[in-house]
Structure 1
Amino acid sequence: MADKNLGGATGAAGRAPAAGSADAIRNVVLVGHSGAGKTTLVEHLLAATGTVQRPGRVEDGNTVSDFDEVEVRQQRSVNLSLAPLTHNSIKINLLDTPGYADFVGDLRAGLRAADAALFVVSAVDGVDGLTQMLWEECAQVGMPRAVVITKIDHQRADFDEVLTSCQDAFGDGVAPLYLPVVTNGNVNGLIGLLSQKFFNYATGTRTEKEPGAEYEARIEEYRGALIEGIIQESEDESLMDRYLQGDPIDTKVLIDDLEKAVARGSFYPVLCTGAGAGHGIGMIELLELITQGFPAPLEHPMPEITTVDGTPVDGITCDPDGPLVAEVVKTTSDPYVGRISLVRVFSGTLRPDMTVHVSGHGLADRGHEDHDVDERIGTLTCPLGKQQRPIAKGVAGDILAVAKLSRAETGDTLSEVDRPLLMTSWTMPDPLLPVAIRAKSKADEDKLSQALARLVAEDPTLRLENNAETRQLVLWCMGEAHTDVLLDRLAKRHGVEVERVELRVPLRETFGGRCQAMGRNVKQTGGHGQYAICHLEVEPLPSGGGFEFVDRIVGGVVPRQFIPSVEKGVRAQMERGVAAGYPMVDVRVTLYDGKAHSVDSSDMAFQIAGQLALKEAAGKVPTLLLEPVDELSVLVADDYVGSVMSDLSSRRGRVLGTEPVGTGRTLVKAEVPQLEITRYAIDLRSMSHGTGTFQRTFLRYEPLPAHLAGKMATTE
């Protein structure tokens, strides 16, 4: 390990890890809301390490974040992107994630690929609900975390206030390692709380000196809290007694305990950064934390691995010489290179042109087929912006890009051909916003299927539905921003123009009472004619009763071979509907009388008679329109429970009850018609400030209110 300077204190020198080994890699995912400054922070870290000449630019002039043309047009990050850099012989793979809830799928992919998380919080805006939820997700899996407060040099920045909000939102173990130094309203440096040194950035380069006496009280206040927090996490139980007795604690001991606590995910240091002069304030301090405090891939638990038939496999570690186990964490398409897969190698070594086995991922319900094929990979590269720099191999612990994996999709496992393995995939959120689309022209329609297949391969949060009942093509998306990005990619990347159309909810029909009706199909055409008469009694069944056909023919008035024909005709007419064109359900049909002809009766004649009888019945009793009702389970913070329940009631919903879930959150259960929740994913996010989630399950069909039934009765 390089010389320690964590917390601004120099410790004992160690041996640097061998280049290319897993111990010389750090995989860090940046998490935070949109506008917190994640991408800007990545750009400054690249500049601080000499990877690029100036923040925001790589050698060919493109920005770090503009690999995707959508990000350039919309001026926001919508993709998981990789930015590799090197500091003190340690390779750092920075995974920049989108800050919008719509793209949480990419964010979770970043969490899967990383070994530690850096939560980015703006000194101006503070912590939002989505960031707090993601902190809880990391806590559940024990991922090491740190907090970096950005924009500390902004005129509206308030370090103390944002630090307090972080401690309130993230809980115990959150403590600063550095304090910003403000002179005449400008941040010109940082004070290391362990070293008690002032690192001055006023000239554009970092210089070290003693802090002035005016900072002593502030340093002592924060330093005492930091040391107490470190000692509480120390494995040496004698340290607390020594500290309480007033004995000095060696700074090197504190640094060692701090590093261990950070690596095991029980202590969460806070740093601050700003644009400042040169390559930015706090970049060196942040790089020291990443290289010395965050764990190497060797220290991170291995995800569960099985054979393709589900048998658990033990004993696989992050070893370059071990069996190959890698995972596709992101799939993108380049108009010139083709499909590019971002891959995390968990075990073994990946080399160009080798043949691997692709095991796929269990998302068939979203249009992602399972894979069990062999593929030859293309070039291995280390991506940065639009640059793809070829590399000789990808070792265990590293993250790289692989070209020409034509079958592999996000979430798939790459392993050896003679030893196929499968990694348990991470949890993907359900897309709950349905958007109906259609091609604008015949030329667009011809290309649409292939373009959508490519989008589905890239994005496991997208679900594609061809609804045979409504005859609509439906994209199930995460939200409005997700929809905009998908349609933008269809148009600009794949050259397919589509337009949104009103989503049709599949309704049903049923009879509103009992009646008798006759179907008479008698035609003479000169040769064989048609002769079939059937008398039916129809009556509604309770909700969920389905369809019953009852045979009460006596005396052979309808020959036995034609009774199934009547049922077949009734079923066919029920599929087409009898009033508004919707399928009919919850009906009992009884065949009790009829007539046949020895020559002119036939299977088809009685099918048509059954259809005519059902249509006649629809003219004798009212037909009711039925709407689908879903059960909703809405998880929100306690502060929004009242608003959510009131909103559900306004949607003709019935709230069934509430129950507390963990601390500060409540699960609200309700039954709500599908017609009222087509855009609920957007509305709930607005009501709960991005923190609410919900699940929906089809429950049953219920009669549509009369004032709405009249509007719906004009459909096909």
Structure 2
Amino acid sequence: MGAATDRRDAQPGAAGRAPTAGRPETVRNVVLVGHSGAGKTTLVEALALATGAVNRAGRVEDGGSVSDHDEIEQRQQRSVQLSLVPVEWGGYKVNLLDTPGYADFVGELRAGLRAADAALFVVSAAQDGEGIGGATRMVWDECAAVGMPRAVVVTHLESARAGFEETAARCAAELGGDDPDAVLPLYLPVHGPAGPDGHAPVTGLAGLLTGKVYDYGSGERHEAEPGPDVLPGLTQARNRLIEGIIAESEDETLMDRYLGGAEIDTATLVADLERAVARGTFHPVLAAAPAAEGARQGLGTLELMELVTGGFPTPLEREMPAVTGPDGHTEPVLACDPEGPLAAEVVKTSSDPYVGRLSLVRVFSGTLRPDETVHVSGHGLEDRGHEDHDVDERVGALTSPFGRHQRPVPSAGAGDLVCVAKLGRAETGDTLSGRDHPLLMEPWQMPDPLLPVAIEAHSKADEDKLSQGLAKLVAEDPTMRLEQNQDTRQVVLWCMGEAHADVALERLRSRYGVQVDTVPHKVSLRETFGAPAAARGRHVKQSGGHGQFAICDIEVEPLPEGSGIEFVDKVIGGAVPRQFIASVEKGVRAQAARGVALGFPLVDVRVTLTDGKAHSVDSSDAAFQTAGALALREAAAGIRIHLLEPVAEVAVLVPDAYVGPVMSDLSGRRGRVLGTEQTPGGRSLIRAEVPEIEIGRYAVDLRSLSHGTGRFSRRYVRHEAMPAPLAAKLSQAH
């Protein structure tokens, strides 16, 4: 980045050698964030090549490649999971965390943010404004809320319609918020001769602070003085950058000196820039492109590594997650100290065909070593199929990943990332700590899955393996929720979206050998009486020996919503013996659970037993249970039965520009808007009550309606009567 942190003579790591665990101050954990198709994975590959982690063929000595993806990623031609690519450069270990850009895989993105100390936002110059999608802006705001340092990398400069300056200006306007001067370029592209199509390719970068040109035309970076055609364009951009840096400087005299005409030396500017970047108050914009065929260094890759190692914070500067004991007692704040108590967190769980379950772990404190016994503490997310657990487990081999290859490492110290084999009980989000000093880390925020996918086993063989396969699936992905719905008797996977569901079902098939079929998702409907009714239940049978005799008369009346089933005994004179009153009630409640019209549970009625008859020999508990059930069915046969549907309270958060379309869409779903309120960042929160049958696919529809910028939550509030035409249509379907 300049004279103060010039590392151009640093030797990159050798290809094929696993990056070694070092002191926390030599580690950088960086997550790459951006819209799908922005070029995050291509950028990781370019950085791996520039740092010597791979050779020019994109391979390492053991045959691994950073581009080795699993079968699902190869088939879908997109990243669907978090991947770690560690590289070494200039004595630093840089853990690059490549995240999916598609909104369905936000859980992988959140895991990357948890594991990282800084973020690179990758923006394509060729996506005509889509490079900064609504989801990207939301992640930027999340990072800003916790003070995570950020920088922007502009890609796809080789495209004929790409414009770095225009993209950088858009980044400043859309990401800078109230302070666009906090998002500014450090370099400007230098163009070569125009080709036959009139497009002039980018061949180098002009440093706004150093005043030097870094030419990549030969495939290696070479420093040169700027030509007369380059200088005029640098002055204005340089002045704006200097003013932006000085505005963030801790030296309050610097601005006065600058405005007074004093020349601020480059070393001072670079040092202030690095401090502002590490604090998360200034966000430089850089450019990068993959290396040309046969070349080793892609455009801007070395400048980017200089920023990462010189400007991004070390793990020592990160605020540690809060920890408690598994029983909830308070623990002292952790320090990033390799000699401290062990505290590590599983940020991702996956399955490897050769080593089995593989856990990607961020070590926050202490040192993790292979073959030691650690304590595994899990919060448990029972509503998502995860149980609380506190167990001791033996750590398997520690490895450093590269594509689908794993290379052994001797240990992982505080601040580092490592893969741990064969942790059979540990799930994503669990804490690994010392067996004698168990700890539990505060969990990171995970979005709720809101798209239900009902599944059935494809065959009897699949049915035998289904529960075990689903348990493994949800252990890997905390954004997925497994529901065994007792009302509808369906197995439901709650997912983030259609792509997330497709990947989950494919993993279920390919990894765990379970083939399933998707079926229409059912909501939990209810039935209730539309008017009072009375009926007799008569169960009389004689077939030799003891017979069956039970007669009971009941009256049924509807009750207010939420009342459930009430049973009242008003028998006079012992017409039904006392020992059989409970039998009648048991039969009535059993029939209510089965329904009286379409098979949905009956609720909100009072059933009064008024009279009956018994036989001294042939009456029994079973006979009166049957009579009670028959009486309830007879009572329902003569009157209208209302269908009740579940209603959810929906809270939708969208930018103000989409409030009108969203409210109109909710109304079209039979929703009742309860109100709206303004929230920070130009967004509005819309609250409405909507029948659940209308929002089964709302996770998908809202994303389309709001161009990926909307999010919502839902909460069941009650059952209420379904409109008669819809109820009639449903009855005909049954």
Which interval holds the TM-score relative to the shorter structure? over 0.9
Aligned to 1:97: 99
Query: Partners in 2 of 1:399 and 1:128 — Cα distance?
Result: 29
Instruction: Give the deviation of 1:315 after TM superposition.
Output: 4.2
**1:695 pairs with 713, 722, 728, which one?**
713
Instruction: Give the deviation of 1:499 after TM superposition.
Output: 1.4
Aligned to 1:181: 190
Aligned to 1:538: 556
Greater alpha carbon shift after TM alignment, 155-164 vs 571-580: 155-164
Instruction: Flag as ranges the 4+ runs of structure 1 deviating above 6 A.
Output: 6-10
TM normalised by structure 2 equals 0.94
Taking the TM superposition and a 5 Å limit, the aligned residue runs for 1:438-457 are 438-457=456-475
Aligned to 2:54: 52
Q: Does 1:311 align with 2:334?
A: no
Instruction: Give the deviation of 1:56 after TM superposition.
Output: 4.6
Aligned to 1:135: 140
Residues 102-129 of structure 1: CA distance to partner in whole angstroms, max 9, x if unpaired?
1111101100100111111111123111
Instruction: Give the deviation of 1:58 after TM superposition.
Output: 4.0
The amino acid across from 2:91 in the alignment is S
Q: Is the 8 A contact 2:21 2:413 kept in 1?
A: no
Distance 1:56 1:643, change over 3 A: farther
Greater alpha carbon shift after TM alignment, 157-166 vs 411-420: 157-166
Aligned to 1:261: 276
Query: Partners in 2 of 1:450 and 1:335 — Cα distance?
Result: 17
**2:385 pairs with 358, 367, 372, which one?**
367
Query: Partners in 2 of 1:7 and 1:394 — Cα distance?
Result: 26
Q: Is the 8 A contact 1:629 1:672 kept in 2?
A: yes
Query: Partners in 1 of 2:542 and 2:3 — Cα distance?
Result: 102
TM normalised by structure 1 equals 0.96
The amino acid across from 1:356 in the alignment is V
Aligned to 1:195: 210
Identity %: 65
Instruction: Give the deviation of 1:55 after TM superposition.
Output: 6.7
Q: Is the 8 A contact 1:26 1:296 kept in 2?
A: yes
Aligned to 1:14: none
Query: Partners in 2 of 1:56 and 1:613 — Cα distance?
Result: 77
Greater alpha carbon shift after TM alignment, 566-575 vs 549-558: 549-558
Aligned to 1:619: 637
Query: Partners in 1 of 2:430 and 2:57 — Cα distance?
Result: 34
Q: Does 1:213 align with 2:231?
A: no
Aligned to 1:81: 83
Residues 280-314 of structure 1: CA distance to partner in whole angstroms, max 9, x if unpaired?
10000000000000011011111111111122211
Q: Is the 8 A contact 1:505 1:675 kept in 2?
A: yes
Aligned to 1:272: 287
Q: Is the 8 A contact 1:305 1:314 kept in 2?
A: yes
Aligned to 1:242: 257
The amino acid across from 1:103 in the alignment is F
Instruction: Give the deviation of 1:276 after TM superposition.
Output: 4.9
SS at match of 2:280: coil
**1:232 pairs with 219, 238, 247, which one?**
247
The amino acid across from 2:44 in the alignment is V
Distance 1:506 1:646, change over 3 A: same
For structure 1, which runs of at least 5 residues remain unmatched after alignment?
A: 11-17
The amino acid across from 1:694 in the alignment is F
Query: Partners in 1 of 2:420 and 2:8 — Cα distance?
Result: 39
The amino acid across from 1:48 in the alignment is A
Aligned to 1:69: 71
**1:563 pairs with 577, 581, 603, which one?**
581
Distance 1:114 1:660, change over 3 A: same
Greater alpha carbon shift after TM alignment, 175-184 vs 111-120: 175-184
Q: Is the 8 A contact 2:21 2:411 kept in 1?
A: no
Aligned to 2:340: 322
**2:535 pairs with 517, 529, 534, which one?**
517
Aligned to 1:124: 126
Distance 1:56 1:660, change over 3 A: farther
Instruction: Give the deviation of 1:712 after TM superposition.
Output: 2.3
Greater alpha carbon shift after TM alignment, 330-339 vs 18-27: 18-27
SS at match of 1:213: coil
Report how many residues are paired.
709
The amino acid across from 1:100 in the alignment is Y
The amino acid across from 1:81 in the alignment is S
The amino acid across from 2:147 in the alignment is G
Q: Does 1:353 align with 2:371?
A: yes
Q: Is the 8 A contact 1:44 1:55 kept in 2?
A: no
Q: Does 1:152 align with 2:153?
A: no
The amino acid across from 1:269 in the alignment is P
SS at match of 1:214: coil
The amino acid across from 1:669 in the alignment is R
Query: Partners in 1 of 2:645 and 2:233 — Cα distance?
Result: 64
Q: Is the 8 A contact 1:47 1:55 kept in 2?
A: no
Query: Partners in 1 of 2:362 and 2:2 — Cα distance?
Result: 25
Instruction: Give the deviation of 1:673 after TM superposition.
Output: 0.9
The amino acid across from 1:189 in the alignment is G
Instruction: Give the deviation of 1:69 after TM superposition.
Output: 2.0
Q: Does 1:408 align with 2:417?
A: no
Query: Partners in 2 of 1:655 and 1:390 — Cα distance?
Result: 57
Q: Is the 8 A contact 1:6 1:292 kept in 2?
A: no
The amino acid across from 1:202 in the alignment is G
The amino acid across from 2:27 in the alignment is I
Distance 1:57 1:652, change over 3 A: farther
The amino acid across from 1:24 in the alignment is T
Taking the TM superposition and a 5 Å limit, the aligned residue runs for 1:490-529 are 490-529=508-547
Distance 1:481 1:329, change over 3 A: same
Distance 1:261 1:8, change over 3 A: farther
Aligned to 1:15: none
Query: Partners in 2 of 1:424 and 1:90 — Cα distance?
Result: 29
**1:34 pairs with 33, 36, 40, which one?**
36
The amino acid across from 1:177 in the alignment is L
Q: Is the 8 A contact 2:4 2:271 kept in 1?
A: no
Q: Is the 8 A contact 2:65 2:402 kept in 1?
A: no
Q: Is the 8 A contact 1:46 1:55 kept in 2?
A: no
Aligned to 1:708: 726
Q: Is the 8 A contact 2:535 2:553 kept in 1?
A: yes
Greater alpha carbon shift after TM alignment, 379-388 vs 519-528: 519-528
The amino acid across from 1:693 in the alignment is R
SS at match of 2:347: strand
Query: Partners in 1 of 2:733 and 2:229 — Cα distance?
Result: 77
SS at match of 1:262: helix
Instruction: Give the deviation of 1:632 after TM superposition.
Output: 0.6
Distance 1:112 1:657, change over 3 A: same
Residues 641-676 of structure 1: CA distance to partner in whole angstroms, max 9, x if unpaired?
111111111111111111111121111111111111
Q: Is the 8 A contact 2:453 2:492 kept in 1?
A: yes
Greater alpha carbon shift after TM alignment, 667-676 vs 40-49: 667-676
RMSD: 1.9
Distance 1:435 1:550, change over 3 A: same
Query: Partners in 2 of 1:22 and 1:483 — Cα distance?
Result: 38
SS at match of 2:357: strand
Q: Is the 8 A contact 2:21 2:416 kept in 1?
A: no
Residues 337-361 of structure 1: CA distance to partner in whole angstroms, max 9, x if unpaired?
1011001111111111000000002
Query: Partners in 1 of 2:136 and 2:470 — Cα distance?
Result: 31
Distance 1:511 1:7, change over 3 A: farther
Residues 31-67 of structure 1: CA distance to partner in whole angstroms, max 9, x if unpaired?
0011000000000000001110137544455542434
Residues 549-599 of structure 1: CA distance to partner in whole angstroms, max 9, x if unpaired?
122222222222222211111101101111111110111111122222222
Q: Is the 8 A contact 1:8 1:192 kept in 2?
A: no
Residues 174-203 of structure 1: CA distance to partner in whole angstroms, max 9, x if unpaired?
111111112321111101000111111112
The amino acid across from 1:141 in the alignment is V
Query: Partners in 2 of 1:667 and 1:601 — Cα distance?
Result: 62
Aligned to 1:396: 414
The amino acid across from 1:135 in the alignment is W
